Amino acid sequence: MKAKFSLIGASLLGALALAACEVINTADADAGDTVVEKPQFTADGQLVRPENYYEWIYVGSPLTPNALNGGEAGFPEFHNVYIQPSAYKIYKKTGVFPEGTIFYKELQLVLRSDHEDGSANEASGRGYFPGAFNGADVAVKDSARFPDTNGWGYFNFGHHAPPLAKTAKALPAEACAACHIASATKDMVFTKFYTRLQ
């Protein structure tokens, strides 16, 4: 009798475990199809700056220092680029940036310049080392809102030390989208610089 009871007990437990797995799998499948960290817009269409972007997937840091750009680079900082985890997952599965994808470009100045070329000496050698944060540019894919710029909207939340703006208006095509239309690698994004997105 005892053996029979524990057998029933074991199969009940097994069934429960299976049911729990099914619940988890369904949740996974849903998360895989739509962007979870959705862009937030105000009633008048401004984008709310995502504050937890640095917990997302980091894809790369192009750097265009002043010293290599006639002393005046448009963006002399490291351009640290992040994408939401769910958008990243969908892109890796489908090769397409889903609606609601956000690219957050955090601008980060070099730590210090010891030399004319803007480089500094540190324990690991001479080079460019990350320092203070200095602004943010953001791109959002929303084909319904931004039909005239290939489905992407472009926003600047300030090009200076924090604090940055909490919301920003979409910038006109000539300010941002035009250059992305002309030169980006894939669907308005410069994927050629982001090895993880290739």
Residues of the shown chain interacting with ligand HEC in the complex, contacts defined by CB under 6 A: 62, 64, 79, 81, 103, 105, 137-139, 154-156, 171, 175-176, 179-180, 184, 189-190, 193
> In the complex with ligand HEC, which residue's Cβ is closer, 70 or 125?
70
Which one-letter amino acid corresponds to residue 147? P
What does the alpha-carbon distance between residue 39 and residue 193 come to, in Å, rounded to a whole number? 24
Which CB atom, from 138 or from 164, has the smaller least distance to ligand HEC?
Answer: 138
* CB of 36 vs ligand HEC, minimal distance in Å: 20
Tokens of 137: 């540019």
Of 64 and 121, which CB lies nearer to ligand HEC in the complex structure?
64
CB of 42 to ligand HEC, least distance (A): 18
The nearest distance, CB 100 to ligand HEC, in angstroms, is 15
Please tell me the distance from the alpha carbon of residue 85 to that of residue 36, in angstroms, as a whole number: 8
Q: Please give the Cα distance from 115 to 127 (Å, whole number).
A: 10
Which backbone phi and psi does 108 adopt, to 5 degrees?
Answer: -135, 115
Q: Which two tokens stand for residue 101?
A: 């994808």
Q: How far is the CB of 93 from ligand HEC (least distance, A)?
A: 20
Of 50, 26, 54, give the one whose Cα is nearest residue 38. Answer: 50
Q: Which is nearer to ligand HEC, 31 or 73 (CB)?
A: 73
What lies within 8 Å, CB to CB, of 10 at 6+ separation is none
**What is the nearest approach in angstroms of ligand HEC to the Cβ of residue 13?**
49
Cβ distance to ligand HEC smaller for residue 88 or 103: 103
Name the minimum Å distance from CB 16 to ligand HEC. 46
Phi-psi region of 71 (alpha: psi -120 to 50; beta: other; left: phi over 0): left
Cα angle: 153, vertex 156, 161; to 5 degrees: 160
Omega before 163 within 30 of 0, i.e. cis:
yes
Q: Which is nearer to ligand HEC, 89 or 157 (CB)?
A: 157
